[in-house]
Structure 1
Amino acid sequence: MHQGAECIGEHDTLRRAAQMMRDLNVGSLPICGDDDRLKGIITDRDIVVKCLAEGGDVNQATAGELARGLVWVDADTSVEEALVKMEENQIKRMPVIENHRIVGMISEADLAKELPDSKLAEFVHRVYARA
Structure 2
Amino acid sequence: DKLDAGVMPVGENDRLVGMITDRDMVIRGIALGKGPDTKVRDVMSQEVRYCFDDEDVDHVLANMGDLQVRRLPVLNRDKRLVGIISLGDLARKGETRE
The answer to whether the 8 Å contact 2:7/2:21 transfers is yes
The answer to whether the 8 Å contact 2:6/2:22 transfers is yes
Structure 1 residues not aligned, in runs of 5+:
1-21, 123-131
Amino acid at match of 1:24: L
Give the drift of 1:48: 1.1
TM-score, normalised by the number of residues in structure 2: 0.88
In proportion to residue count, which structure has more helix?
Answer: 1
1:100 aligns to 2:65 (yes or no): no
2:35 maps to 57
Pick from 48, 65, 68: which aligns with 1:87? 65
Cα distance in 2, alignment partners of residues 71 and 93 from structure 1: 9
Identity of aligned residues (%): 33
Would you say how many aligned residue pairs link Structure 1 and Structure 2? 96
Give the drift of 1:115: 2.5
String of CA shifts for 1:87-124, please: whole Å, max 9, x gaps: 1111111000012210000012202201356x0xx3xx
Cα RMSD, aligned residues only = 1.4
Cα distance in 2, alignment partners of residues 62 and 107 from structure 1: 26
2:14 maps to 36
2:93 maps to 114
2:50 maps to 72
Cα distance in 1, alignment partners of residues 36 and 88 from structure 2: 28
The answer to whether the 8 Å contact 1:40/1:70 transfers is yes
Q: Which has the higher contact order (CA 8 A, sep 6+)?
A: 1
Q: 1:96 to 1:51 in 2, by over 3 A?
A: same
The answer to whether the 8 Å contact 1:39/1:67 transfers is no
Cα distance in 2, alignment partners of residues 58 and 92 from structure 1: 26
The answer to whether the 8 Å contact 1:29/1:43 transfers is yes
1:15 maps to none
Q: 1:107 to 1:39 in 2, by over 3 A?
A: same
SS in 2 for 1:23: coil
